[in-house]
Amino acid sequence: MRQVNIHEAKTQFSGLIAAVEQGEEIVIARCGEPIARLVSIRPIVPTRVSGSAKGGFTVPPAFF
């Protein structure tokens, strides 16, 4: 978790948003005291791996 002051947050807002999109949390502080937290509203979804459930279950004959 990175902490930045208000002035830095205003001047580097686009970069902070890019960091948040990558999953980082940013704390915005005034005079060194944390006042806000910048976090993503979308959960980071892990990529799917094809075939990862192979052998984990079987389809019963009654299904067909």
Segment 31-46 mean pLDDT = 88
The pLDDT score that the predictor gives to residue 54 is: 83
Question: What domain range includes position 16?
Answer: 1-42
Distance CA 44, CA 63 (A): 35
Distance CA 49, CA 2 (A): 31
| Residue 3 placed within a domain | yes
Cβ contact 38:61 at 8 Å: no
For the cut 80, the answer to whether the pLDDT of residue 43 exceeds it is no
| Residue 59 placed within a domain | no
**9: pLDDT confidence band, cut at 50, 70 and 90?**
very high
Average pLDDT taken over every residue of the chain:
90
Q: What is the largest CA-CA distance in the chain?
A: 68
The pLDDT score that the predictor gives to residue 57 is: 81
For the chain, the domain total comes to 1
